[in-house]
Amino acid sequence: MALLKMKFTQQRRVRLAQGLWLLSWLAVMCGAFIFCLGIYLKTELLRRDEVMDNTEIHVVPNILMMVGLASIGTNWVASRVCQDSLDASRFPRWKVLLLAWFAVAALLCCLLIAVVVLSYALQGRLEESLKVGLRNGIRFYKDTDVPGRCFQKETIDHLQMEFRCCGNNNFKDWFEVQWVSNRYLDFTSKDVKDRIRSNVDGRFLLDGVPFSCCNPASPRPCLQYHLTDNRAHYNYEYQSEELNLYSRGCRQALIDYYMDLMNSTGPGVLSVILIQMSVLLSLRYLQTAVEGAMALENPEGESEGYLLEKGVKQTFEDCKAKVLDMLKFAQVDAADAEVSPGAADAEKTVDNTTEKAASPTPAS
Q: For residue range 120-144, list pLDDT tens digits in order.
A: 888 888 899 999 999 999 999 988 8
% of the chain exceeding 70 in pLDDT: 85
What is the pLDDT of the chain when averaged over all its residues?
83
Tell whether the model's pLDDT for residue 239 goes beyond 80. Answer: no
Tens digit of pLDDT for each residue in 327-357? 776 666 556 655 555 555 555 555 555 555 4
Helices and strands (H and E) in the chain: how many = 8, 2
Supply φ then ψ for residue 23, to 5 degrees: -65, -35
Using CA atoms, how far apart are residues 169 and 161, in angstroms rounded to an integer? 15
Residue 3 backbone dihedrals phi, psi, to 5 degrees: -90, 130
Predicted local distance difference test score (pLDDT) of residue 363: 46
Q: Alpha-carbon distance 328 to 341, whole Å?
A: 21
Highest mean pLDDT among 11-20, 27-36, 119-128, 308-317: 27-36
List of residues 6+ apart from 144 with CB closer than 8 A: 150, 152, 153, 181
Contact 269, 34 (CB under 8 A): yes
pTM of the model: 0.75
Mean pLDDT for the stretch of residues 172-196: 86
List Cβ neighbours of 312 (8 Å cut-off, separation of 6 or more): 3
Residue type, 180: V
The answer to whether the CB of 138 falls within 8 A of the CB of 165 is no
Pairwise pLDDT comparison (255 vs 191), residue with the higher score: 255
Sorted by where each begins, the domain ranges of the chain are 6-137+251-317, 171-247
